[in-house]
Structure 1
Amino acid sequence: MAEDTGIFLGASRKPDDSYQRPEELLLRYGNRHGLVTGATGTGKTVTLQILAEGFSNAGVPVFCADIKGDLSGIAVMGTAQDFLAKRAEQIKLDPYEFQEFPVIFWDLFGEQGHPIRATVSEMGPLLLSRLMNLTEAQEGVMNIAFRIADEDGLLLLDMKDLQSLLANLAQRADEIAARYGNVSKLSIGAIQRSLLILEQQGGKNFFGEPALKIADLMRTTRDGRGAISVLAADKLMMNPRLYATFLLWLMSELFEELPEVGDPDKPRLVFFFDEAHLLFNEAPKALVDRVEQVVRLIRSKGVGVYFVTQNPLDVPETVLAQLGNRIQHALRAYTPREQKAVRVAAETFRPNPDFDCATVITQLGTGEALVSTLENKGIPSMVQRTLIRPPSSRLGPITPDERRKIILESPVAGQYDETVDRESAFEMLQKKATEAQDAEQQAQESGKSRWTLPGFGGDDAPAGTTQRRAPRASNRQTVAEAAIKSVVRSVGSSVGRAIVRGILGSLSRGR
């Protein structure tokens, strides 16, 4: 029922409980961003699913996170069910056809989809500091580390690169302090501990190469449909800070890489940020400002960002003001905060004289929503009580066998499956340390060559003279040895053993 110019969302409800005109989201305003809110179990995931289906059929690539696993059903064709047929009849969706959609599964841990990786350099000091919850002083050290890496030509690709660089900074603290200010060893130690925690939470899988190519999220099929990239996030949600930081990094990459296109007839990509409150929980102002900037400016790149969350209060007002297309499912008003959320949600809509928004929000049934989208000239439509259409794909998750089959047939199969570990900061610093030790050792050996003076003897000394002993090797650590041992202690046992093996000439880099 949706036309080439818009996505059919459902049908609005008349006062006599029948359903009238169709409600749709116009594609030319799809990059004006949106908000889908509602309490648990009110139908947000199905709304996300039918939006993704509509954008895909219009030739718009989609990226979305699958929090509970039930969004994966979009990859296979739906099946007839009585309640779906009844809803289609109520909203006059004729014909109601089932369809499967082109889906690419992704997973930061590489278990339920193709691995997603980013390099440490791409993430940058601000997002890394947010990810590890660093203090202001520790964030300053992180910024210095990235500056030193740029100056010294050190590639920061994976976690061991950053760990070895920080250990090197600790050894050069006095030298660096003269240029950039104090680099506290306590701060470096705290950052190293945070990196260890991050590594244990899965950061080791995320940081590295091959890094994700944005073009692989913007694929279309031969029949002109947009690919739907589904991120498996059920395990990722156990570390919400990593989840939020990754999605913010992805938005930032889109903003930096894509060219300006103004207002296209349809978006170039639509980005769904599920559980959006995780991005803003305890976020510093600098980070919220960055989100606001990306949301405000990425529209001109042809990218639409849709936040999906339970409560409109989860999204800061500065960001909320940028969201033109709104779908509000039922909210509960049992607590003062929930009552405030109902009022806020009601006040954001263009009023409808047929009903009171604040009252209806608490009375909406499952699959119903208050809908207001941008009409001609970008003006918000009058809010309508809408019955959301049923999806064309499967309602619910796919099986593990179905998922494996889709992954094997994916257009990116084999491109990201194997980790690549090329020469970067870790190897370069290790090489410098090894060269320094070799030079020191050669200097010591040249000083050990035997020599004699008259009266001190030697092999050819006259009889009765005393042979002078070679100089005793010092027990003190050389600068190079101290640097190597510091790197071993700071980087961690597994990386430390790799460094020692490298010095002994039997390096066997492990993944």
Structure 2
Amino acid sequence: MDKAGQFIEQTQKGYTTKGDYIYVGAGMLNGEVHSEAAVKIPLKTMNRHGLIAGATGTGKSKTLQIIAENLSEKGVPVLLMDVKGDLSGIAQAAEGADFIDERHQKLDFPFQPKNSPVEILTLSDQKGIRLRATVSEFGPVLLSRILDLSDTQTGILAIVFKYCDDHHLPLLDLKDLKKIIQYSTEEGKEEFQKDYGRISTASTGAILRKIVSLEQQGADLFFGERSFEVKDLTRRSEDGSGFVNILRLTDIQDRPKLFSTFMLSLLAEIYTTFPEKGDMDKPELVMFIDEAHLIFEEASDALLDQIESIVKLIRSKGVGIYFVTQNPADVPEEVLGQLGLKIQHALRAFTAKDRKAIKLAAENYPISDFYDTKNMLTALGIGEAMVSALDEKGRPSPLVATMLRAPMSRMDVLTETELKNLINKSQLVSKYNEEIDRESAYEILNKKIEIAEKSEAKEKAEKDRKEVTKTTSRRRTNSTEGAIIKVLTSATFIRGVMGILNKFLK
């Protein structure tokens, strides 16, 4: 058997699946596409997480689009983090083109234009379904990690949350949290010290500064009600297709702290909410995090540890997480080691640093009998990638240079009119886009302070009134005594008394 025959046989053996799967393309060897060497990803391994990497312009977003729309077709809901704003076209079927037909002829695979059911989500003021969470839902531990607090500051935050629980003070948004922290060292200082111990103003000041820093990245829009229910990410359309939930993040590229905050809260909420699933025929939800380096570049060690822990555990809930970034080195090694599917598009070697990164990237993939992986990574064309997956038993499949299929949906964004119509048709807009600002810690504490101030003012007024009365009485007494003394010591009175005495003595 020649080398091409060996390659086809090995690929067929490594990517054979008895259950349902996603077809991503066909293997290539020495520049030739072998349609018999089909690259198929078993649906039951899609909760084992993955990586889509490659230089700008090599086709990462289109690969993400291919996998997302095929998952949707198989009834698997998807969440896409759309940082660049180029994924909304999934809601419209592809128009078709000659280069697409040519590609699919090489793959010997029919091209069928199709759209997916889509929901547009947002963290900010952009059009879409608003995602929010309350401060209470985060809790002191998670919030401390996001704010990168010291042990002392974390303890103070725990006391603040305990006080709010004990006194039935809802912590909904950041103004609630700031108010109770200020209250703990000002108006409520004695109350806190009596029940919970002394709280340092230096520590509360540091916590408040970090909250303000988070606010400046737009977190004030994220914290509040109504809280988004993660079960709404797992909706399916009437024909059984999973919804593709596209979270628009084009306006927070320069606010990685907010991105990290949202991601961690979402993962934590999914982990605590979703039941244990074990091994499933297909995942419950698959998440794609585009520009994944935004999560990690400013994350503290504590935050990274939390993300790593959740990534390890969340697959048992039937959830797969896929990181999309330029270089595998953008993802911490501890997380990278948890990823089952790896799709590596071309990398560019312009500098010594780039060449070193390519060498390290090549070492992340299985050794191949057919490729020099390091050189192959620089030779891949647009829409081509090195693929390494897991088979149905969780074993790594052979590394295959793959010509990828084209997306069934539009490879461009929706127009403003199309976007508006899509959002208006959503069943979730009325549920989440109403702004709610019910009475919470901020309002309750303000009333408490106001009542205390009025009571204090009333006591002071009463005290002042009594003091005035006492002073007035004293003045009257002093005035009477002074008048008597004045009469008794007057010359007229003395002369009169002396005259009487003289008469009496005579």
TM-score range, shorter-chain basis? 0.7 to 0.9
Q: Distance in 2 between matches of 1:395 and 1:453?
A: 88
Q: Distance in 2 between matches of 1:310 and 1:182?
A: 49
Shift of 1:322: 0.8
- Find 1:119's aligned residue among 118, 131, 134: 134
The aligned residue for residue 86 of structure 1 is 102
- Aligned-partner SS, 1:283: coil
TM-score by length of 2: 0.85
Residues 455, 465 of structure 1: 8 Å contact kept? no
Shift of 1:174: 6.7
The aligned residue for residue 22 of structure 2 is 7
State the identity %. 42
Q: Distance in 1 between matches of 2:123 and 2:473?
A: 74
Residues 6, 24 of structure 1: 8 Å contact kept? yes
TM-score by length of 1: 0.84
Amino acid at match of 2:394: G
Amino acid at match of 2:247: L
State whether structure 2 residue 172 is matched by structure 1 residue 149: no
State whether structure 2 residue 418 is matched by structure 1 residue 375: no
Q: Distance in 1 between matches of 2:257 and 2:360?
A: 27
Amino acid at match of 1:98: P
The aligned residue for residue 160 of structure 1 is 175
Listed as ranges, the gaps of 5+ residues in structure 1 are: 467-511
Shift of 1:142: 3.2
Deviates more, 1:181-190 or 1:59-68: 181-190
Amino acid at match of 1:229: N
Q: Distance in 2 between matches of 1:208 and 1:64?
A: 23
Shift of 1:230: 0.4
Q: Distance in 2 between matches of 1:117 and 1:454?
A: 62
Go from structure 1 to structure 2 and tell me whether the alpha carbon gap of 1:344 and 1:180 turns closer, same or farther (over 3 Å shift).
Answer: farther
Residues 45, 392 of structure 2: 8 Å contact kept? no
The aligned residue for residue 321 of structure 1 is 337
Q: Distance in 1 between matches of 2:337 and 2:195?
A: 42
Shift of 1:451: 5.4
Go from structure 1 to structure 2 and tell me whether the alpha carbon gap of 1:323 and 1:437 turns closer, same or farther (over 3 Å shift).
Answer: same
Q: Distance in 1 between matches of 2:132 and 2:446?
A: 24
Q: Distance in 2 between matches of 1:335 and 1:150?
A: 56
Deviates more, 1:165-174 or 1:417-426: 165-174
State whether structure 2 residue 439 is matched by structure 1 residue 414: no
| Alignment size in residue pairs | 462
CA offset digits 1:232-281 (Å, max 9, x no partner): 11102121221122112111111111110101110000011111122222
Q: Distance in 1 between matches of 2:243 and 2:378?
A: 36
Go from structure 1 to structure 2 and tell me whether the alpha carbon gap of 1:127 and 1:85 turns closer, same or farther (over 3 Å shift).
Answer: farther
- Aligned-partner SS, 2:238: coil
The aligned residue for residue 496 of structure 1 is none
Amino acid at match of 2:63: T
Between structures 1 and 2, the one with greater helix share? 2
The aligned residue for residue 374 of structure 2 is 358
State whether structure 2 residue 256 is matched by structure 1 residue 256: no
The aligned residue for residue 408 of structure 2 is 392
- Aligned-partner SS, 1:238: coil
Go from structure 1 to structure 2 and tell me whether the alpha carbon gap of 1:130 and 1:316 turns closer, same or farther (over 3 Å shift).
Answer: same
Go from structure 1 to structure 2 and tell me whether the alpha carbon gap of 1:182 and 1:329 turns closer, same or farther (over 3 Å shift).
Answer: farther
Q: Distance in 2 between matches of 1:177 and 1:456?
A: 42
The aligned residue for residue 301 of structure 1 is 317
The aligned residue for residue 206 of structure 2 is 190
Go from structure 1 to structure 2 and tell me whether the alpha carbon gap of 1:180 and 1:463 turns closer, same or farther (over 3 Å shift).
Answer: closer
Q: Distance in 1 between matches of 2:41 and 2:397?
A: 10
Go from structure 1 to structure 2 and tell me whether the alpha carbon gap of 1:441 and 1:336 turns closer, same or farther (over 3 Å shift).
Answer: same
Q: Distance in 2 between matches of 1:446 and 1:65?
A: 63
Listed as ranges, the gaps of 5+ residues in structure 2 are: 1-16, 483-506
Shift of 1:162: 0.7
Shift of 1:145: 2.6
Amino acid at match of 1:105: I
Go from structure 1 to structure 2 and tell me whether the alpha carbon gap of 1:216 and 1:446 turns closer, same or farther (over 3 Å shift).
Answer: same
The aligned residue for residue 246 of structure 2 is 230
State whether structure 2 residue 74 is matched by structure 1 residue 58: yes
1:436-451 correspondence to structure 2 within 5 Å: 436-447=452-463, 448=465
The aligned residue for residue 7 of structure 2 is none
Q: Which has the larger radius of gyration?
A: 2
- Aligned-partner SS, 1:18: strand
Q: Distance in 2 between matches of 1:162 and 1:346?
A: 47
CA offset digits 1:21-62 (Å, max 9, x no partner): 211111011111111111111111001101110110111110
State whether structure 2 residue 57 is matched by structure 1 residue 41: yes
Shift of 1:300: 0.6
The aligned residue for residue 506 of structure 1 is none
The aligned residue for residue 87 of structure 2 is 71
Go from structure 1 to structure 2 and tell me whether the alpha carbon gap of 1:67 and 1:454 turns closer, same or farther (over 3 Å shift).
Answer: closer
Amino acid at match of 2:305: D
CA offset digits 1:195-229 (Å, max 9, x no partner): 33433432221110001111111111111010111
- Find 2:230's aligned residue among 199, 202, 214: 214
Amino acid at match of 2:118: V
The aligned residue for residue 97 of structure 1 is 112
Q: Distance in 2 between matches of 1:369 and 1:136?
A: 46
Deviates more, 1:25-34 or 1:9-18: 9-18
The aligned residue for residue 240 of structure 1 is 256
Deviates more, 1:436-445 or 1:235-244: 436-445
The aligned residue for residue 500 of structure 1 is none
Amino acid at match of 1:124: G
Go from structure 1 to structure 2 and tell me whether the alpha carbon gap of 1:368 and 1:431 turns closer, same or farther (over 3 Å shift).
Answer: same
Residues 131, 242 of structure 1: 8 Å contact kept? no
The aligned residue for residue 17 of structure 1 is 32
